[in-house]
Amino acid sequence: KLVDGPEGQQKVVLKSSSGGSAEVFLHGAHVTSWKSNKGEELFFLSKKAIYAPPKAIRGGIPLCFPQFGPLGKLQQHGFARNSEFEVSRGSEDSVTMSLRPTTDLHRTYPHEFHLLVTVKVGSDSLTQTLEVKNESSEAMPLGTAFHTYFLVSDVDNVYVDVGSDGPTYLDNTKGRAETQLSGSKVKFQQEFDAIFQGAPDSLKLVDEKTGRTITVKKEGLPDAVVWNPWGDKQFADMAEGEYRTFVCVEPALAASGPIQVQPGETWSCTQVLSVS
Ligand code: BG6
């Protein structure tokens, strides 16, 4: 069901028969809300979020496509999060949105493709799948990420368990210098912006105050990005103090990309989020 959201943007509201719910905007196929079967909101969404193109919505799950961050020739995180999708199919608990390139996009990304993004909500889970078919006769460069902003009680109370002991990561705050994590937990005491290349397929975000654990499972995505900016003044679309209330855990094809999707090939990846 399509309903009106802020600034004339339309969103689809999904409900699972066992109680979970989610909202997905056509702008960017952007998931802005995910609620568990207890009705608790699990995603951060800024009070100052801008819903109008060409801005991406600050919070929820911006979709980075077909580039992660600055790793390529396109705008930061690619154009999908600033593009208008169409609904291609849907049911009560799931929707598939579709994007094809416009003439305008061809100027910076001269490839024919068909992108499908499917979001399905369960009683305590959210599954998101990206499928892209290269419909041109040339190879198509691709990087991507599900850039999820999880709502937390306070950044002081949480850690991300990256699933392996003492992994190295590329520190985006230090020109992607290779750095070693001590142990398997990321705690936040300053800006943290890291690409874990070849990360395990299951990561956990634990909030020790609320006792909530979010499990992030990834399929087909080699990397994971963990981010908290430790400040909000640098963002026009973040309200004061909001940085303390979220942590991003992002299954990604980042430093392991861009890959080349061959002509006629369909490439896909999935993230499964669950809460306990
Ligand atoms: C993260 C990057 O994925 O996204 C950060 O690692 C970046 O470096 C952040 O600051 C937010 O990006 P944007 O373009 O949405 O402000």
Six token digits for residue 272: 């499964």
pLDDT at 261: 98
The tokens describing 181, both together, are 């994590």
Query: 14, 1 in Cβ contact below 8 A?
Result: no
Question: Which residues approach ligand 1 with their CB closer than 6 A?
Answer: 56, 69, 76-77, 147, 172, 193, 225, 227, 250
How far apart (Å, rounded) are the C-alpha atoms in residues 109 and 104? 9
Q: What is the largest distance, in Å, between two alpha-carbon atoms of the chain?
A: 53
pLDDT for the residue 242: 98
Determine whether 38 is exposed, middle or buried from the number of CB atoms within 10 Å of its CB (0-12, 13-18, 19+). Answer: exposed
Which element (helix H / strand E) includes 256?
none
Rounded-to-integer distance, Cα 223 and Cα 123, Å: 27
Query: What pLDDT digit, counting tens, does each position of 60-85 carry?
Result: 999 999 999 999 999 999 999 999 99
Instruction: Report the C-alpha gap between 53 and 7 in whole angstroms.
Output: 10
Q: What percent of the chain has pLDDT over 90?
A: 96
Pick the catalytic residue: 77, 111, 147, 242? 147
> What DSSP assignment string belongs to 12-53?
EEEE-TTS-EEEEETBTTEEEEEE-TT--B-B-B-TT---ST
Q: Is 188 exposed, middle or buried (0-12, 13-18, 19+ CB in 10 A)?
A: buried
Would you give the DSSP letter of residue 108? H
Q: For residue 1, what pLDDT is reported? A: 79
Query: Is pTM, for the whole model, over 0.90?
Result: yes
pLDDT for residue 53: 81
Closest residue by Cα to atom 6, ligand 1, is 193
Grouping H, G, I as helix, E, B as strand and the rest as coil, residue 3 is strand
What are phi and psi for residue 202, nearest 5 degrees? -135, 125
Domain 2-275 matching CATH 3.10.310.30: the answer reads no
Report domain extents, the chain.
2-275
91 Cα to the center of ligand 1, angstroms: 32
In the residue annotation, 147 being an active-site residue is answered as yes
Q: Tokens 């985006």 appear where?
A: 172
Q: Mean pLDDT for each 10-residue chunk of the chain (276 residues)?
A: 90 96 98 97 98 91 98 96 96 98 92 98 97 97 98 98 98 97 98 98 98 98 98 96 98 98 98 98
Query: What is the model's pLDDT at position 141?
Result: 98
CA atoms in the 13 A half-sphere facing the CB of 196: 27
User: Any known ligand binding at 176?
Assistant: no
Q: Which two three-digit tokens encode residue 167?
A: 């992994």
- Per-residue model confidence (pLDDT) at position 188: 98
Report which of 41, 37, 61, 59 is spatially closest to residue 50, judged by C-alpha positions: 59
Return the sign of the alpha-carbon dihedral for residues 180, 184, 190, 194: positive
In ligand 1, which atom is closest to the CA atom of 145? 3
What spacing in Å lies between the alpha carbon of 147 and ligand 1's midpoint?
8
C-alpha pair distances (Å), 208 with each of 150, 184, 262 = 14, 16, 45
Contact 71, 197 (CB under 8 A): no
122-170 confidence digits (pLDDT tens): 999 999 999 999 999 999 999 999 999 999 999 999 999 999 999 999 9
Ligand 1: which of 63, 82, 174, 193 to mutate, most ligand atoms within 8 Å of CB? Answer: 193
User: Is 76 part of any known ligand binding site?
Assistant: yes
